[in-house]
Amino acid sequence: MRSVFILVVLLQFVGHVHAGPKMALTAGVAQVDITSPKFVPVGDRLYVKALVVRSADTIAVIITVDAVAIGGIGGISNEYLGRVRERLKDELSITPDSVLVNASHCHGIVCDDMEDKTVEAVRNAIKGIVPVTVGCGVGHENRIMENRRLFLKSGKEADVRHAYSVAADDEVVDVGPIDPKIGIVRLNKADGQTLAVIYQFACHPIMGLPNGANTADITGYSSKVIQDNLSDGAIALFLQGCGGDINPIQYKDVNIPRSAEPLGNMLGLSTLQAIKKIKTEEKSQLTIINEKITLPRCDHTERIAQMKVEQTKLLRSLTGTSLNYKTFMPLAIKYQLSPEFPSYPSHRYLLDKKLERDDVTSMDRTNRANLEAYAKNIMTMEELTRNQTNLALLERHQKSYIETGRKPIEVEIVGLRLGELVLITFPGELVVEIGLGLQKRSPHPLTFISGYTNGYIYYSPTAEQLKNVGGAQEDSDCLLAPEWQKLFEDKVMEMLKKL
């Protein structure tokens, strides 16, 4: 029994901890262009950036990449993280568990030689290591994003995507929260000039540019604003937070050209305002923890069957109507423009009334019935589109569930303390509710949670959101069973105590 007890205690603390008290730190930073030469036009450049921070006995390598994900989807392979870590170990004697790689989740196109460029960035950062002072703070920005989950009268939830239409206005009763906080670490050189800034924020950087050019999107522009307004050579590293259900504001606007630049400028300026107020200290704590956790996969068999039943029901609800698109549009405009006298000026209606005729009003009744039937079909077709798109996501992940033998997923979680700021990472697209909840429970005032780090496992919604499977992308494009949330959050609280 005693040996079993000892084994259990040891298992509770599996993981690697590099920690120390407050002490003098050194750091180096570098960036390397990773813009794909094959994809034109180019709106702005994409970068891999590396910040290496050292204390007497601890090293942390923070790498940020202007890419959609670290493996899984996009142009970075699943082997990238392992190969980069192996090369850093062999070439620079950096242990793998000291390396944190975060994707901004922009949808820019990166070059093919990402591994070489990443190692180059770390190597250049090490060459430039100097003594630094460190300060932390929080900025605020709430103008550039919105929660894309919509709460409906039916009790279900939908989301705002380009893959399908938005739910009808009169069906939407509420929206989810946002997190306006910008977590900031400022590293200054001995002469007071800024070496680097880390800033963390939660929002999908997927606004794009009007001409569809390759771009690092919102966070590429915000980083440029920050760098242009700090010391020469200063580099801003963006860490994506819990942005799984956070879109850029007015993501579906069809009246103004979609452009990431003004949103990025606002985020950059808000970050700068906070940076200016941060005072740095000569000694700071540097701690990095790297742990693994096993999470259960979800079996979507039952929900897929339910959605197919819903799909059939929607199809059967489509009814015949005399109108087609060509006749529907002008009639809809006329009857909206003048509901009382849609077919002719009012005097014709008054004349018919005086003569006790109802020719025009009878035609109006028929047209209104046809308009209602056609509009109902349109709404049903929009529901079908959402159903079909999310059903395809579920079927893809169900196939993966079966092909992997229904095995659970092992993921890596990194805990980093740099000065007073504490960061926890996760490889999934965490929704904002996860971040807000953990921040509230954390013993550290400056706690931030970053998804999209050291791998990619698709969306990671809350257990509550997973009751809505099939209704929104976050709960459909997901590998995890609802139990994942408690397992993850319990592990995070353990790690926060160690930090």
Instruction: Dump pLDDT digits (tens) for 351-398.
Output: 999 999 999 999 999 999 999 999 999 999 999 999 999 999 999 999
**Is 66 in contact with 220 (CB distance < 8 Å)?**
yes
pLDDT of residue 16: 53
Specify the pTM: 0.92
**Is 64 in contact with 292 (CB distance < 8 Å)?**
no
pLDDT of residue 19: 53
Nearest-5° angle of CA 480, CA 485, CA 487? Answer: 100
> Of 317, 319, 298, 312, which Cα lies nearest the Cα of 394?
298
Q: Average pLDDT of the chain? A: 94
**Is 291 in contact with 12 (CB distance < 8 Å)?**
no
Two tokens at 225? 């604003």
Q: How many residues are present in the chain? A: 499
Of 2-6, 215-219, 453-457, minimum mean pLDDT range: 2-6
Beta bridge partners of 369: none
Beta bridge partners of 414: 290
Q: Is the pLDDT of residue 11 over 80?
A: no
pLDDT of residue 21: 78
Encode burial over 404-418: b for 16+ CB neighbours within 10 A, e otherwise: eeeebbebbbbbbbb
The 10s digit of each residue's pLDDT in 155-180 is 999 999 999 999 999 999 999 999 99
Residue 76: band (very low, low, confident or very high) from pLDDT cuts 50, 70, 90 = very high
pLDDT of residue 17: 55
